[in-house]
Amino acid sequence: MRLVDYLDKGATLGPAAPCLTMDGASLSYASVQELSWRIARALAGSGVRPGEKVAILSANDPTAFACVFGVSRAGAVWCPVNPRNAAGENRDLLDLFDCTCLIYQSSFAPLVEQLRPDLPKLKTAVCLDDGSFEDWLGDAAPWEAPPVDDVVMVVGTGGTTGRPKGVVLTGHNIETMTALTLMSYPFRGRPRYLALAPLTHAAGVLCFPVLALGGEVVVMPAPDLTAFLGLVEERGITHTFLPPTLIYLLLDNAALDTTDLSSLQCLWYGAAPMSTARLREAIERIGPVLGQLFGQSEAPMMISTLAPADHLHPDGTLAVERFASAGKPTPLTQVSIVDSNGRALPPGERGEIVVRGPLVMAGYYKDPEATAKASAGGWHHTGDIGYLDEDNYLYIVDRLKDMIISGGFNVYSAEVEQALLSHPAVRDCAVVGLPHEKWGEQVTAVVQVHAGRDVTADELRAFAKGLLGSVKAPKEVLVWPDLPRSKVGKVLKVEIKQQLLATGAASPGSAPPTRA
């Protein structure tokens, strides 16, 4: 399936039904179809040929997302660009992807003007909202160009440790992801999906299964959790996605307990590890609707799933023993745990998580060396360390690059973080390894505490030691007012470690750290 096929499928279930909604105004399926024809004709008229790359640079916006379907109808390839990226990163992405056309919001016009001289392959730049867009559009008669192959998206990996790579995703990848979503989570009736997180990331691809069912996508232009709660109640939202950091903020929102959330069928969480203590709180206060997903750009969203029902025992009690897991591998995806030699490990043993199946990318764009490395032995190497238990639940214990070797022992930072996050005073944390003469690396924790809570280093170290033992417990704890985060809310451990090494454990910004 092409990306536009999800729109067209939804339209067969009711062309007048609301498709994309923002600020109370809706575009029907028929309206979005018509807009997609006009965009496709305009792209062709601008010289965009099937197979060429078209980038969209915009905050969450229905018209911008409708452009995705126009790109697909033109036989071109969608390149989502995160507006929160630094200018240099977006320049690198547009150049790497060989983009010939950029569609952007007027708020990014200065950035586009700055970047264009460095992008000789960019032939066309179209502004969505300065009055010229309507003049650029073609006529509304149905039209489309056949694609040259099955490539539908090129997605940039995070560039936090160097130049980003382009993940090539096919229609078969997205079709597999959509099928796995629909078979793994509850969908009753026409879904109403609330997109608060950026449509350039997980929130965007989760739209496709919703559209296939003729559902409505309610778009939030900016993250506001009080407004989010209001929309869930007012619009009868059935599905939404939030990364753990936003779920933590939602639990701290004063309006949560007075909002009617009974319409929710599934609140997806993922993209980063979640505190098991706060997951339990979320289920108790929001309802048994939380559903975990685990994937990465190279195998989008659905490597493994933990559906809302899987968070419960048959008698309705909380299955807290599963809360630290990422669920079970999905039916169309094979998952194995391997050692450094590629040898498969038995249940309970920790190694790198590798996957294969139709969910896995076609490769990295114009990077055969990286593609070969990632697919060694016929499996996609995720870079995550984990294990499968006897019941086939997958546990992710760390990123391969984040593992700490202290005194000859492997210490998994994610395991230490889970222990610290279970302390009632800790709001968020990051654990890194710093050079140490005696141990090789010292386990060091940087924590963010809840407002108004006091905690000492001795308390936190003793707490962690009681759960993990002396080897894994952090030797040093620092409290920062906030932690550096990526555009999608992930804590940036690389940046934290660099700052600790460069400043001798000084916190970012002007506020000094507290050695708790």
Kindly indicate whether the domain formed by 3-9+23-170 is annotated with CATH number 3.40.50.12780.
yes
Q: What is the model's pLDDT at position 494?
A: 84
Contact in structure between 477 and 457 (CB atoms under 8 Å): yes
d(CA 58, CA 76): 18
Q: What is the model's pLDDT at position 512?
A: 36
Q: What is the model's pLDDT at position 211?
A: 98
Give the 3-state secondary structure of residue 481.
coil
- Spans in the chain with pLDDT lower than 70: 158-163, 487-488, 504-516
Separation in Å, CA 57 to CA 127, 296, 324, 394, 468: 10, 21, 36, 36, 45
Residue 24 makes CB contacts below 8 A (sequence gap 6+) with none
Q: What is the model's pLDDT at position 160?
A: 43
Q: What is the model's pLDDT at position 506?
A: 41
Q: What is the model's pLDDT at position 354?
A: 98
The pair of three-digit structure tokens given for residue 127, joined into one six-digit string: 């502004």
In CATH terms, 403-503 corresponds, of 3.30.430.20, 3.30.300.30, 3.40.50.410, 3.40.50.740, to 3.30.300.30
Query: What are the domain boundaries of the chain?
Result: 3-9+23-170, 403-503
Q: What is the model's pLDDT at position 203?
A: 85
Our separate counts of H helices and E strands in the chain read 16, 25
